Structure 1
């Protein structure tokens, strides 16, 4: 029987997949700012590893070619792949290893439970693979609905997820906890599933993606989104989540080391004023660096210091994420790592 492993994000990477915001999407008058944010993100990542940037159409290609940060940027590869939106974490390939051989998994994507048009995003992984930019490793289609932002792997057989996302019935109506665990074990090689029932960020429209709340930063360590202000609407739910995390035990019965991240001051949509799901757990780990969101907030410095302590051998780079958070996403949501093939 093959051993299947879902690697941790800090494993060696071949590239990062990003998607260029398209003019026909939901960005409205925030399109230029979103493009600037993705360009800055790509430029930072290219200091450490290749970036694959998906362009939906000719206008996207032209705007990429004209962008001041992307001109002659290496190692950047621009590929033509149709898409609905930029959130590659949820539409891109989830990579596993079968006895050391890399395999790309293509799960069904339905627009976060049917909230948004998603036909092109559902086809995104297969279309990206067909370009050849990922290499010749096989692709495996799964008809269950699963988004990369809803699972967090420690690389040692454990994943974190939320009941709200996987079990509420919006995506896979027939899933109960037992069926969900079986599906994760079959597709991802998961041995332990840690379920969170508490914690949420106001404005999140993913039904509680774990990558906005709690992240493995080592096999035995979890960084989580905290809130120290008792007057903040997040306080009680995030405190309850911290208690759930404290009660978790690994496969050998040991508690995880927990590290709290600060919460930035409330960020509101400039048009209608609703609160946006800004937080620091939505960072991205890449080769030699961790890219963290910034919100022009004093807590940016605190988050930087904490995350630097968790990754002493990696550079900590900041990217202003206020343009992306307007569409309720962030850096991690916008990127999917492609793990490097293992030495043979």
Structure 2
């Protein structure tokens, strides 16, 4: 059911990711020109992610007709597996951005309380700058998901990927100029016009613009979900490095300056928690040799991986955290995340390097569907019904 007008006009807004979910959506990787060794190692890690999340909330994995049986055989029985065609499996960016209704906005008890925004997608930059030249199947993913769930759809002509935004659920949105103001997305829109669209569709009142994303995140032109995210209202995690010779250092200091000199939509000064990046990590000759040189952006040996511990998924009562095989920083990340989310169990996903090799990580491959009605969420970022379980 397509909706006229904007989500805000209908009383919808995008909730914070720590608010309760009804399920998580994940695609299934297969294209050999992005996932090495015919995506076999990547599929193994996707299965780990789906299995881990399924212990805390329902999970639906979508796989092509050619891959459905393989996905079904690798996933636990409690994970639903649906057949769906796609160009690649980055559901954060191609799936719908779910929004929920404010309880006071619904006059009819039967009116849907959850809906989805179907942004326009152009493969992170279009024909000239994108990651692959044909994204026609990806353009249908959000619509298919919303039809499966029988949820209202807000079509949006603006090009935007879900990984380029983070919200606190209280009126504030985080993003980067490097991505949203890039001329390979919406060259005819000004910064003010993009802000207006974000406010109208996400129900936010203030946009905090970081200049750039993570160093090396060229595929997405600096998505925010590799660089910075909210922990709770007024608190953010920032990808950091102590190495002043690392190109990421300049970006991190630049972002820290912005974050320390702004307030959120409610006038709060932001607390910044530094989360050190791994490595640096680079694609090996063996890893690059396993990727077919076909239609997708080349994967070259020696390329620095856009690896970040900020790229995690918040499940109902758990943090599903990437681990890159860098023991020092893997352990430090788990410690920091445990302190930041004291009522969540931090679940390590070993081998997340495989997802980074293809250009993203756990947050990039997942899309949460919020639950309505929401339970009361305290400022530790977890619903009261989940606190009792931890």
TM-score of the pair, normalised by structure 2:
0.83
Shift of residue 253 of structure 1? 2.9
* Contact persistence 2:13–2:100 (CA under 8 A): yes
Tell me the SS of whatever aligns to 2:52: helix
Given candidates 91, 95, 98, the residue that maps to 1:95 is 98
- The alignment yields a C-alpha RMSD, in angstroms, of 1.6
Task: Indicate how the Cα distance of structure 1 residues 220 and 203 shifts in structure 2: closer, same or farther if over 3 A, else same.
Answer: closer
Given candidates 250, 273, 279, the residue that maps to 2:308 is 279
* Contact persistence 2:171–2:204 (CA under 8 A): yes
Question: Equivalent residue for 1:35?
Answer: 43
Tell me the SS of whatever aligns to 1:261: strand
Task: Indicate how the Cα distance of structure 1 residues 203 and 105 shifts in structure 2: closer, same or farther if over 3 A, else same.
Answer: closer
Note if 1:110 corresponds to 2:118. no
Consecutive unaligned residues in structure 2, runs of 5 or more:
1-8, 104-112, 286-300, 376-390
| CA–CA separation in structure 2 for the residues paired with 1:203 and 1:104 | 27
Given candidates 15, 25, 29, the residue that maps to 1:7 is 15
Please list the CA deviations of residues 213-232 of structure 1 after superposition, one character each: whole Å capped at 9, or x if unmatched. 00001011101101101122
Shift of residue 2 of structure 1? 4.0
Please list the CA deviations of residues 168-225 of structure 1 after superposition, one character each: whole Å capped at 9, or x if unmatched. 2211111111101111111111111111114432143111100000000101110110
Question: Equivalent residue for 1:151?
Answer: 165
User: Number of residues paired by the alignment?
Assistant: 336
Consecutive unaligned residues in structure 1, runs of 5 or more:
none
| CA–CA separation in structure 1 for the residues paired with 2:345 and 2:38 | 29
TM-score of the pair, normalised by structure 1:
0.94
Please list the CA deviations of residues 122-167 of structure 1 after superposition, one character each: whole Å capped at 9, or x if unmatched. 111112233x2x3x22122111111100000000011000111111
Given candidates 134, 141, 159, the residue that maps to 1:124 is 141
* Contact persistence 2:32–2:39 (CA under 8 A): no
Structure 1 segments (4+ residues) deviating >6 Å: none
| CA–CA separation in structure 1 for the residues paired with 2:22 and 2:152 | 16
Please list the CA deviations of residues 20-71 of structure 1 after superposition, one character each: whole Å capped at 9, or x if unmatched. 11255522426111000000001101111111100112x311211332xx2x
* Contact persistence 2:166–2:229 (CA under 8 A): yes
Task: Indicate how the Cα distance of structure 1 residues 140 and 199 shifts in structure 2: closer, same or farther if over 3 A, else same.
Answer: closer
Question: Equivalent residue for 1:63?
Answer: 70
